[in-house]
Amino acid sequence: MKFSVRVEALVLVLFLGGCDCGKAGTRCTVSNDCPDGRTPHCAPALQTCVECLNDDQCATGFVCNATGSCEAACRDERGRCELGSYCKAGEACVECTTDAQCGPGRLCQNNACVPGCSAAHPVCPSGLMCDATQGRCVTCTTNAQCTMPGLPVCNPATNTCVGCVTNGDCTTPGKPFCDPTTKTCVSCVMDSQCPRGQVCQANVCVNGCTPSQPCPVGQVCSASGQCVQCTSDLQCSGATAKCDVASNRCVACLPGPNDTCPMGQYCRADFTCERGCKTGADCPSGQCLPSRSCAMCTQDSQCAAGNVCINGTCTPACSATNPCGSGRDCCNGRCVDPQTDASNCGACGTTCGTSGACCRGQCKALNTTSDCGACGVTCGANSACCNNACTPSNTLANCGGCGIVCGPDQFCDGSQCRNQTFPEFCANRSVYAIYDGRTLDDAATNVLASTIRANCSPLTTIQYGPQTNATWVDQTTGALLLGGGSTVVTAGGPFPNKPVQWLERTRQVTKVFFATNGLDTFYFRKRADNSNVVTFPQAQCSPNRDVFIVELATDPTSGTLALISYGLCSGGYGTQTGAWYWANVMLPNRASYPDSWYIYEWLDTNLNTQPDMGDTFTLRGSGR
């Protein structure tokens, strides 16, 4: 009997030691005997309450061990790991175990995805290719890989597509030289590449000269650097032997007491000799009046042109026998200029009235693009005469004409106001693809622009360049400088991308903006009420999952329309996906996208780490 009790006690000790009943919980026969939520299952073999009976009863990334407890581990390739992580040899969930599990342009090193590519894994984001020698994704390695209009040459120093590297790359008529700074074909880089009488300014040959860049034969270089007819009398001769240094041209005479006009004539302000006294020596009285008539005249010849001597006084009274000077007509006994006289415009007696002016012998209103504010003042392209002043007509305040104001959610296409929505995207024919300098962002920008001509108009012009182009982007503020009728497309978030930072953070004109708690969560928020459209934990970011925005915004200063796109997560997957979705889904079907912004969550359903039609795109929000 004692032996039997001892055996039973030993068996009980062994049993309890093997099942760890003291730690696991209470004794049981069914799960209903397990009231503690931490150990809700009854293990039949152990007859004690445990945390789990199988892996499915454990959280993701945990497995059920032999003692009925959940421990951090995994069992197979997927191993109950979170989407975007993988099982490492049955030990733990990691970001990757092979290169194929990382996104395009990333390799698996020490179970973490890092930027790079290799000959064994040459997969890169759309628009990039693998340079296995450098171990990174680049835009190009050969010219054949550069297919964007205007960027036909691969720059070996940066592995990016540019306009040119050497002068030999420039075949466009009128632009034979390669600017080493911008890598674009231009008309000139230095003065010596321009004809005589021109210098190189902003890569364009303009009129000018320097000591080393001479003028055409017959002209001289002035102190202001312009080719002129003369700078002194030495360059003049014949009937025009004097040099007017103010206009640098040879003239017949120079106004003043020592002019070269004959006796009884003086030099007019337009450098023409005309009848009238020059000094008192020309007058019997010895006094020449400011009117160029002699005081106490004795004959008509002592009076200025168009005047006659009556009772010793020169009096205006032109006639057929007493004509006016050159360029003037005699109207009602007075000398007038029919080219400018509003009371005798073109002919005696033709009056222009109070609202007009006499321009070149014709009455004109000074509110036209050829005579704006004054005769001969011509307004250029994209300009209108508003309030007698030339004013840009492609702005939000003057769209297509004076005083035509676009609404707060509109842009100006250069001739009329358009709604800032995707169905109106193709209205502007001038498109500028702006790079922020980050490889993945720049590749995404190329994708954004890739289908515009095919889906808009073949007449649309697309230019590509960096955000460091000071004629496109204000280098201090990031403001867009291209004006109405122009559209900018650019990929990248508001920190590396100057235009996006200007629109989203400085001017705050985007309807949605990026935010973060600074720790572990990203947001897309509505500007109107600061509410969260999307709340996305950083832990959910992976090469297979991201949230991206595609949005239109208008620069309120210049009127430039901007298409921007980027992802919430770092790594560039959302930015790449957003560009792909715009180019392949939204733009071809833009009539189905009536709002100005759309936010989608991307799930790489087929786990190939690249966006395609087989993936899941869930609309998280849109609006105007």
- pLDDT per residue as tens digits for the range 530-566: 999 999 999 899 888 999 999 999 999 888 999 999 9
Higher pLDDT, 385 or 6: 385
Per-residue pLDDT tens for 419-470?
Answer: 999 999 999 999 999 999 998 899 999 999 999 999 999 899 999 999 999 9
Give, to the nearest 10 degrees, the angle between helix 573-581 and helix 439-450: 10
Q: How many CB atoms lie within 10 A of CB 565?
A: 31
Rounded Cα distance, 517 and 536, in Å: 11
pLDDT in tens, 262-318: 888 999 999 999 999 999 999 999 999 999 999 999 998 899 988 889 889 998 888
State the pTM of this model: 0.67
pLDDT at 620: 97
Tell me the CB-side half-sphere exposure of residue 296, using CA atoms within 13 A: 6
**pLDDT exceeds 80 at position 82:** no
The single-letter DSSP state of residue 577 is H
Per-residue pLDDT, averaged over 149-161, amounts to: 90
Joined tokens for residue 295 = 């005081």
**Residues near 525 by beta carbon (within 8 Å), at least 6 away in sequence:** 512, 513, 514, 515, 531, 532, 533
Taking residues 480-502, report their average pLDDT.
95
- Model pLDDT for residues 309-336, shown as the tens digit of each residue: 988 999 888 877 788 888 889 888 888 8
4 pLDDT higher than 60? no
Neighbours of 112 (CB within 10 A): 12
- The pLDDT of residue 84: 66
Hey, what are 460's tokens?
A: 């649309």
The amino acid sitting at 521 is T
Cβ(496)–Cβ(441) below 8 Å = yes
Determine which of 4-18, 175-189, 203-217, 452-466 has the lowest per-residue pLDDT on average: 4-18
21 has a pLDDT exceeding 60: no
Token pair belonging to 226: 């312009």
Both tokens assigned to 564: 């921007």
Query: Using one digit for the tens of pLDDT, what is the confidence trace for 210-237?
Result: 999 999 998 999 999 999 999 999 999 9
Q: Kindly state the percentage of the chain with pLDDT values over 70.
A: 94
Q: Look at residue 454 in the predicted model and tell me its pLDDT.
A: 93
pLDDT of residue 23: 41
Instruction: Name the DSSP letter for residue 375.
Output: T
Q: Look-up: residue for tokens 């050497």?
A: 166
pLDDT more than 90, % of the chain: 63
Average pLDDT value over all residues in the chain:
89
Res. 12: pLDDT tops 50: no
Q: What is the pLDDT of residue 25?
A: 58
Q: Quote the pLDDT of residue 83.
A: 65
